[in-house]
Structure 1
Amino acid sequence: MPDTSPAPEPSGAIADAYRGNWVDRLAPEAWKPYFRLSRLDRPIGTWLLLLPCWWGLFLAIAATGGARWHDAWIFAGCGLGAILMRGAGCTWNDITDRGIDGSVARTAARPIPSGAVSARAAFAWGCAQSLAAFCILITFNWAAIGLGILALLPVTIYPFAKRFTWWPQIFLGLAFNWGALLAWTAHTGTLGWPALLLYVAGMAWTLFYDTIYAHQDKEDDALIGVKSTARLFGDATPRALAVFLVAAVALMGLAVIVAAPDGEIGMLVLALIGPWAMGWHMLWQLRRVDLGDHDRLLSLFRSNRNAGLLPVLFFAAACLA
């Protein structure tokens, strides 16, 4: 009889990582724990950090009437920076949560609580990633550099937020959507109202997707006293998600309207399709939410890469209008 039992998990694999990801398959054994610290086996977080950067860049290009050669580097630099800073942020998160992660089923196998990496080695790894990201940041203008340095504040605070507030997702939103401010400023040289509106829209989006995500851990979180919007809203979560959906779409649409140059109707119409399309995707997610189905919750959370890409595509199209 052929063996039909499930294939064993690779050594050190994390519960919510993609099966067959490149870290488990291809990375050298000595580097696997460090790559897992950086969540390179779970790229969705990098996408969620990167997409607001591209929102800000393409809306800035559309608003100012055209791209410059340096915008290609801003586009690529945001991509590289998102990988590095997401890795550094997750490493810091795991250092601060090392006393909690071992008590949560989904996180018990992470490199620090499992003993694969020491806290000291993890700190050095986080510093190396931050330094590499800083080397990218200093290729931008001075205003963007200042914003990039300031971004360390919400990144540093976020891991502690679940200890003192029921709204840690707000602090995640502050950190994860900073790229909307930075990329807009990297193109224009100054911070503007459209970027600020995009930033707050992104925060509403983060509240939407991370509340969905947090429902996977609500039982463990309750046992160890960790707070989250999932625990705060409980069975009323769908109503809260609807509010976050409307806020994200309305604020992003307002950002487009404020950014649109006078008389540029084509740009305005194309760009406004972006938040409208994203809103429909979020509504699709909302209709599929099942708070007791962890696999579905994880799948819906991951689908936000596609939701966030929709404004990128239409903002990019608006640059050509």
Structure 2
Amino acid sequence: MSEREFQHITYEVSERIATITIDSPQTRNGFTGLMGQELITAFGRADRDDEVKVVVFTGKGKFFCPGADLSGGANTFDYDARAKDAVDVVGTGASGAGGEEPPVPTEGRDEIDGVRRDGGGRVSLAIASMHKPVIVAFNGAAVGVGSTMTLPCDIRIASEDARFGFVFSKRGIMPEAASTWFLSRVVGINRALEWVYTGKVFDAAEAKEAGLVSRVVPAAELMDVTYALARELAETSSAVTMAAGRTMLWGMLTADNPWEAHRLDSKGIYELGRQADAKEGVTSFLEKRPPQFPGRIPSDLPEWLPDFPGAQPQ
């Protein structure tokens, strides 16, 4: 598969790890409508591929994603004005710009309540609906949508060079990418409000202290650390169990009480306990050898798993 199948990202699979890299020198990795659609396509492909167990999401060069491509100028976020100027990039939402792009087909899913859907939100919901772990390696600045679209990811690792910012108050626009749902669940309501109110750009140390990232490593070590973790998951963890854990942990954030988790846990223990992965997990432990889990996602995805809250086609 050619890396340049896409214009703004690259997609590679090796060792059961899919790597999705923002690689858009023409926008300095700035988010555009086409980039958003390409990310949705790539994450969907990884989730549907039985041979992929883990996804790594990173950027190439100085930036991870410094936010929206602002080449549209003052009308970047004014879709009516852009339409009058005959600039129409379908699916950009509050995160996209880049009038040079052709329209992106969205199969009729580009509107909600009569307005254009936020493109960053379409990306974040595509990630949220996955059944496989997603590890983000922040190689540089992740500002605006560069931060918000990663909130549904599972593990975030930052280079010491990384910077973050929820800068919407400085641009006069709405916090996007469903970040008003995700951010407070990741770092707590008070820190989320502080960052949204101030719109400040902050360093990796503050991101780690708040729980936005789990590790901060020297820039030269970022990808080695990230791939070491990704390989550990790919080689030693059950894909079926990771899918169940990911879906349940996110899904239970909106459960009314722990009995809902208990109900699904009980069903899961029964169903997964009959499958080959459970037998291999016990046998490999008793035989003191690394496990060779046969389960594949999505082929062996348990039917009883709940959808991510509010999941819709992307």
Range of TM-score over shorter length: under 0.3
More helix by share: 1
More strand by share: 2
TM-score, normalised relative to structure 1? 0.26
Which has the bigger relative contact order, CA under 8 A and spacing at least 6? 1
TM-score under structure 2 length normalisation: 0.26
